[in-house]
Amino acid sequence: MTAEHRSDGAPSNPTAAHLLTAPHSLPAAPLPTLRPSLSLLTDRYELTMLQAALADGTAHRHCVFEVFTRRLPPGRRYGVLAGTGRVLEALPAFRFGDTELAFLAQHGVVDDVTLDFLRGYRFTGTVTGYAEGETFFPGSPVLQVEGTFAEAVLLETLVLSILNHDSAVASAASRMTSAAVDRPCLEMGARRAHEQAGVAAARAAAVAGFAGTSNLEAGFRYGLDTIGTAAHSFMLLHDDEEAAFASQVAAHGPGTTLLVDTYDVRRGVERAVRAAGTGLGAVRLDSGDLGALAVEVRAQLDDLGATGTRIVVSSDLDEYAIAGLAAAPVDVYGVGTSVVTGSGAPTCGMVYKLVARSDADGVMQPVAKASTRKSSRGGRKAAARRLDADGRAVEEVLATGPDEDVLAWEPEGDDGAGDGRLRSLHVPLVTDGAVDSRWVGAYGVANAAERHRTSRGELPRGARRLSSGDPAIPTVELTLG
């Protein structure tokens, strides 16, 4: 037998064509299955660090990890924290069952001692952080995970993957809802993302003020309003536009939204009003010069007596396009690709860093990286936002110092720096392993959306500009003790 052929005559390295034409010659591979455990949604080095720390006795040292970003994406003046509720929902599923342990053993990832530890792993520590929906800035300690090194280090990848994605989406969505002012934005981007990322993106967009989503799974999980009527394929399915409109109105009533740009927009509007009457709910424009078309369609609808019919626009909108349509008679914006991909900033660059740990005597000590352009501030931080007499944010205050002093700091109320006050930013999320239910599920999303409205409303007026600029407020340190 040569290196190129097996004894049965088949190539030993089948080409793509061979795989397509003769799949029966290959052994069937088991299909991957979805598992309820989330414990392998992590990086290998977290487990190998754990093994070494268990061996040298440092695994049970008390530690504080903080999540923060060193800088905002270019052109952004603030970020929006989202995904906290999803982190809390994930914690109970971060368990190592027999399937996960067998995989780790088979591949020699860690030794038997570490496998025994993982078998009983439960996070019993404490998590505090900014309330979901809060705005943040460079250095803001948006999440603090406190527990033993063994407990806390394993959560790094899971925490960062959720917060980086969801906060990127929420930060972009906030710019869009800000540009839209009082006009609702609807999320319809699931088909432009991984199927689970689409659900997470819909949730994050809702945190930042989006009024609805096309994604039914997001509606089911988080109590979001779902939207959607018909695509161009429905128009093309029928013999003509009249038949398509008649079918949709018969099925969903005159309050439906009819897509009028499949063929000719002007004739589409005429046929839509003829099919539904002057009580037609809305028409949707999905192509062309949306601003000019909206003006023409508004005038046409009014002339036809459909003065209450709304105009919905979609088609690759982002915050700049939405702002550009501010003067147009648009009622609703439908946003897809840009919102689910962070509108050019698909991650927030958040990191998960050890900032304090107990020494051999049990005393908490600050620790920090000194790496070029990747330095961190040592020690636990307490965070507050300084507001002026009008309730506008003027700076982010990070209290540092001896651990006991930072823990005892109570920033609420007048800080003696003038007529303003300090608003504490950290809230309890997990206490001794027990998740605070205020931040999870549909209730958590509603709380986060309200927190975002309030937090964004505190920012200086210039914070909402879409042009490049510095962070809306500076971050300053207050040394205690």
Tens digit of pLDDT for each residue in 86-117? Answer: 999 999 999 999 999 999 999 999 999 999 99
Q: 372: pLDDT confidence band, cut at 50, 70 and 90?
A: confident
Q: 371: pLDDT confidence band, cut at 50, 70 and 90?
A: confident
Distance CA 360, CA 149 (A): 14
AA identity, residue 31: L
Record the tokens describing residue 230, joined without a space.
């018909």
Residue 176: name the closest of 473, 451, 456 by CA: 456
Residue 58: name the closest of 46, 50, 68, 67 by CA: 50
Task: State mean pLDDT over 364-389.
Answer: 88
Are residues 398 and 87 in contact, defined by beta-carbon separation less than 8 angstroms? no
At 370 the pLDDT is 80
Distance CA 59, CA 117 (A): 11
- In the block, tokens 């924290």 appear at 81
Are residues 109 and 50 in contact, defined by beta-carbon separation less than 8 angstroms? no
Tens digit of pLDDT for each residue in 412-436? Answer: 665 555 456 999 999 999 999 999 9
Tens digit of pLDDT for each residue in 313-356? Answer: 999 999 999 999 999 999 999 999 999 999 999 999 999 999 99
Tens digit of pLDDT for each residue in 140-173? Answer: 999 999 999 999 999 999 999 999 999 999 999 9
Are residues 265 and 288 in contact, defined by beta-carbon separation less than 8 angstroms? yes
| Residue 186, Ramachandran bin (φ over 0: left; ψ between -120 and 50: alpha; else beta) | beta
Tens digit of pLDDT for each residue in 434-469? Answer: 999 999 999 999 999 999 999 999 999 899 999 988
Are residues 68 and 349 in contact, defined by beta-carbon separation less than 8 angstroms? no
Query: Which helix (H) or strand (E) segment is 130 a member of?
Result: strand 126-130
At 450 the pLDDT is 98
Long-range contacts of 241-248 (CB under 8 A, 24+ apart): 241/267, 241/268, 241/271, 242/271, 242/274, 242/275, 245/271, 245/272, 245/274, 245/275, 245/276, 246/275, 248/275
Q: Indicate the CATH number for domain 228-324.
A: 3.20.20.70
Q: 19: pLDDT confidence band, cut at 50, 70 and 90?
A: very low
- List alpha helices for 181-264, DSSP H: 195-207, 216-222, 232-237, 241-252
> What is the percentage of the chain residues whose pLDDT exceeds 70?
90
AA identity, residue 371: S
Record the tokens describing residue 269, joined without a space.
């509007």
Q: Indicate the CATH number for domain 44-170+346-479.
A: 3.20.140.10
At 461 the pLDDT is 87
pTM for this structure?
A: 0.90
Question: Domain map of the chain by residue range?
Answer: 44-170+346-479, 228-324
Distance CA 206, CA 227 (A): 13
> What is the percentage of the chain residues whose pLDDT exceeds 90?
85
Looking at the DSSP assignment, which residues form a beta bridge with residue 353?
66
Per the prediction, the chain carries an average pLDDT of: 92
Q: 285: pLDDT confidence band, cut at 50, 70 and 90?
A: very high
